[in-house]
Every structure is written in C-alpha cells, then in structure tokens.
C-alpha cells in the first residue's frame, strides 16, 4: 500500500503541476491583453493517516483562482472613450448578444477597462462586443435617482452621432445709458429703439424689441428723469409682453441710477435684484436692468444713448462633435455651439471580494456567492476609485515572474515523473522476486 500510495502521490503531483503550467501558459499568452488578470495555482497537501507505523502518501491538490484585485499599469491612448478604473471598482458592462434581443434585458457584467467606440447603432462597445452601460440623464442633463443595489436602471450607453441640441434663453442682462437731456423741458421726446436677440425652445432666433420713450418735463429748465420702456416679441407678431415706467435719481452721489420701476404690464420689478420676468412666445425670460441705486444695468447720464453691455444665455441649434467621460463617470456630449450636456452617468460597481468573481470571456466578470453582492457607487465616492479616460489598463502579468515559475514547474513536474519511474522500478523488482 505504501508503494502504491507513492505512485498515486506522483500522479497527483503531475496533475497539479500540469494545472499550474496551464495558468502560467494563460498568463504569458495574455501578457499583452488589456485588462487581463493573472491566474494562480495554489497547492495544498493531502494527509492520509497510516497505521502500524507505516506512512501513506496522500499527495497534493490544487486550487486555481484569478487575482482580480491586482491592477495592471495604465497606459495612455488617443481615444476619449478608452476607459480604465484607477483604484477599486468595476465598470458596468453587458454583452453584444443582449443588444440583439428585443426584451431589453441586459445582464450585468463587470470590467476594469475597455476600448469603447460607437458601433453602427451608436452603442459604445469594444471590438469583442463588450458594451458599456450607464444611467441615462434627463433632457436637462440631470441624473435621476436610481437604485444602488441593482443594475436594473442601467442601460447600454448609446451616442447619437447625429444629435442636435439647443438651449432657450432664460436671462438677459441690459446695460443701456439713456440720455438725461431727452427728458428736459423743450426736448424732442423721440422714442429710442433697441432690439435684443433671444433663442426660443426650438433653438430659433427671435428678437425682443424695446422702445424707450422719455417723458418731457413741462417745467422750464427742469428734467422729468422718467422713461417708459415697452417690450414687444417678434415671435408673437410684435405683441407687447411688458411695459414699465422707470424713474432715475438725480441727487448727488446717486445721479443717473434707477430710483423706481413701476410695472404697467409684465412681471413685477424686484428693486433688490434688479430683475423682472416677462412671458415670451415659448417661455419666460428674466431681464436684469440693475437694482435700485446701484448704477448697474440701465442708467440716465449726459446726452448719449448707448447700449453699453447686453448679455444673454441660451444658444441656437448645435451639432454633436465629440463625447468625453470625466473622472466622476459623467458622459458629456460636446456641441459645436460651445455647450456641453450630460447624457449618461457611469457608476462604479463595488464587491467585497473581487477575487471571488466568476471570470468570463473578454476580461469581464460576473458576481457570485463568493464575491458578495454588488453596490453601485458614484465614481470617486465611497470605496471606489475614479474613471480615467484616454487610458487602458495593461495586463497584470509579470512575464519575468511567470518564466521563473515556468522553470520551477518544469523541475517539479520532472521530479514527480521521476517518482513514478522509481515506483515502477520498485514494483518491477517486487515482481522479479517470484522468478
């Protein structure tokens, strides 16, 4: 029995070293594979209790696992959607086959890196079909609240390369000087026109036409310091959307500043902020003409009518020109009109035991009972790292170390083969005793 147990131990040694050789071969073969995690083989002895002072060889057994928690080095690239996780956490991905079904069921897998590019349908996926997933944003760029302990809210990231966008104008700041002499006794009292462009909800250029009409003083040598401001909207066929009576101060130290604004029609003027709101054809627009006594916005000085500064928000229709992913996982669409809009957020998945994940093809992983449950964090929040764009994670294989282990494994395999050869010779001698 002792001799046969030696034979079994030798056979077990061959099998376990063959398994270790398989992990080494896999590691070396994937030394240039982005995102590859090194596989290792761990040996443990088997002990069989013998009796009567004899010893029975139990042999050896092997367990293999993938060291998912060991990161590779990051290397820079020229593609904005080449992504890598710096620190703990995994990118949420799904398979190409799930995009082809019509039920919207996207199985959740995990990856640490990927060279994602848009396919013919605009989905961000790798050449092997691994598709990036994220939380879709609302039309205004905000991210709704999604459950963090499940991937049900995640969708494949789809970039519409022919996407258009615009932003409506919601705020206009007016800086205009009105000539004080126009309110003096005997002045002509002519209306002073001003046109201000704005963009409606469809990105169409419209204009609000503003007329300033002075109230001419009826007292010789006096100024009324009063103006009537009427606002009309081109999108409404020139209909009046606001009318205001503005009085200016002429006292020492405050001369030329607004003293009061009375609304005849349109929204009420706030003397603290200097703003009022009017309703244009497709939405409200707030005008900032300056607070009372500040000298910002509208002024009444000297004898010159001068628009000194007019600024507004909003933009016309723009074309999508590029997509970026920031460190917090927000996918930003950049348009040729200079605006940027959030279209997705990519969370990072955290598991308590990354080495317990099930390894799948194409350097992706699935959760298991050993890995623990998944939780979705904002990138760079909690225990997770951040997302690096223009970067890929290199293979975690150390080729020099693997070659060293290869030599060790070869020697161990040869030694176990020698044990089997020796046992065979001893059994042959035992057989020869009968002759």
Instruction: Answer yes or no: is pLDDT of 328 > 80.
Output: yes
- CA 297 → CA 232, 287, 289, distances in Å? 19, 10, 4
The lowest-confidence range among 18-27, 108-117, 270-279, 333-342 is: 333-342
pLDDT at 103: 66
What DSSP string runs through 297-355? SEEE-TT--EEEEEEE--EEEEEEEEEEE-TT-EEEEEETTS-EEEEEE--EEE-S-GG
Last-in-domain residue among 245, 279, 313: 313
Q: What is the CATH number of the domain that holds 275?
A: 2.60.98.20
Lowest mean pLDDT among 81-85, 184-188, 261-265: 184-188
Domain count, the chain: 3
132 and 223, same domain (yes or no): no
Shared-domain flag, residues 85 and 38: no
The CA distances from residue 162 to 122, 319, 331, in Å, are 10, 7, 17
One domain, residues 267 and 336: no
Query: Helices in 140-283 by DSSP H: which ranges?
Result: none
> Could you tell me if 325 and 302 lie in one domain?
no
Residues 36 and 151 occupy one common structural domain: no
Which pLDDT score, from 0 to 100, does residue 3 have? 78
- Domain hosting 260: range is 169-313
**pLDDT band at 318; cut points 50, 70, 90:** confident
Q: Are residues 212 and 228 in the same domain?
A: yes
Alpha carbons 76 and 150: distance in angstroms, whole number: 32
Q: Are residues 274 and 150 in the same domain?
A: no
8 A C-beta contact, residue 64 and residue 9: no
Average pLDDT (227-252) is 94
Mean pLDDT across 74-79: 95
Res 51: pLDDT: 63
Q: pLDDT tens for residues 17-42?
A: 999 999 999 999 999 999 999 999 99
Give the three-state DSSP class for 86.
strand
Question: What pLDDT is recorded for position 161?
Answer: 64
333-to-42, 131, 337, 341, 344 alpha-carbon distances in Å:
47, 18, 12, 5, 9
CB atoms within 10 A of CB 400: 8
- 379 and 292 co-located in one domain: no
pLDDT for the residue 200? 87
221 vs 67, higher pLDDT: 67
Whether residues 288 and 240 share a domain: the answer is yes
Same structural domain, 86 and 128 = yes
Model confidence, pTM: 0.71
Q: What percent of the chain is modeled with pLDDT above 70?
A: 96
Residues 278, 207 share a domain: yes
């Amino acid at each position: 029995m002792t001799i046969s147990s030696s034979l079994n131990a030798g056979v077990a040694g061959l099998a376990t070293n063959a398994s270790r050789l398989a992990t080494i071969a896999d590691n070396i073969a994937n030394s240039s594979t982005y995102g590859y995690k090194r596989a290792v083989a761990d040996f443990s002895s088997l002990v069989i209790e013998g009796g009567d002072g004899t010893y029975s060889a139990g042999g050896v057994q092997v367990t293999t696992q993938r060291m998912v928690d060991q990161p590779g080095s990051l290397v820079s690239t020229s593609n904005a959607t080449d992504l890598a996780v710096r620190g703990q956490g995994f990118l949420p991905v799904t398979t190409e086959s799930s995009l082809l079904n019509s039920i919207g069921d996207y199985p959740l897998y995990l990856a640490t890196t990927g060279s994602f590019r848009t396919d013919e349908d605009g989905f961000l996926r790798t050449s092997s079909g691994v598709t990036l997933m994220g939380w879709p944003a609302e039309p205004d760029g905000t991210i709704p609240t999604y459950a963090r302990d499940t991937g049900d809210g995640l969708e494949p990231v789809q970039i519409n390369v022919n996407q258009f966008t615009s932003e409506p104008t919601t705020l206009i700041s007016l800086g205009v000087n009105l000539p004080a002499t126009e309110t003096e006794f005997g002045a002509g009292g002519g209306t002073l026109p001003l046109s201000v462009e704005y963009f409606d909800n469809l990105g169409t250029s419209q204009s609000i036409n503003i007329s300033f009409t002075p109230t001419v003083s009826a007292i010789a040598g006096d100024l009324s310091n009063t103006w009537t401001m009427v606002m009309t909207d081109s999108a409404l066929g020139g209909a009046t959307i606001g009318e205001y009576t503005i009085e200016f101060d002429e006292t020492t130290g405050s001369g030329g500043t607004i003293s009061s604004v009375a609304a005849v029609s349109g929204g009420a003027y706030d003397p603290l902020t200097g703003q009022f709101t009017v309703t244009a054809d497709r939405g409200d627009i707030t005008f900032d003409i300056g607070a009372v006594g500040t000298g910002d916005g509208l002024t009444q000085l000297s004898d010159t009518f001068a628009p000194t500064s007019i600024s507004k928000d909003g933009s016309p229709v723009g074309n999508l020109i590029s997509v970026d992913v920031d460190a917090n996982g927000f996918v930003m669409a950049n348009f040729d009109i200079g605006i940027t809009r959030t279209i997705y957020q990519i969370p990072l998945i955290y598991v308590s035991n990354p080495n317990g994940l099930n390894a799948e093809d194409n350097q992706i992983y699935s959760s298991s009972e050993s890995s623990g449950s998944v939780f979705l964090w904002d990138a760079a929040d909690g225990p997770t790292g951040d997302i690096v764009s223009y970067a890929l994670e290199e293979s975690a294989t150390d080729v020099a170390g693997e070659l060293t282990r290869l030599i060790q494994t070869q020697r161990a395999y040869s030694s176990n083969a020698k044990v089997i050869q020796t046992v065979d010779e001893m059994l042959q001698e035992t057989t020869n005793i009968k002759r």
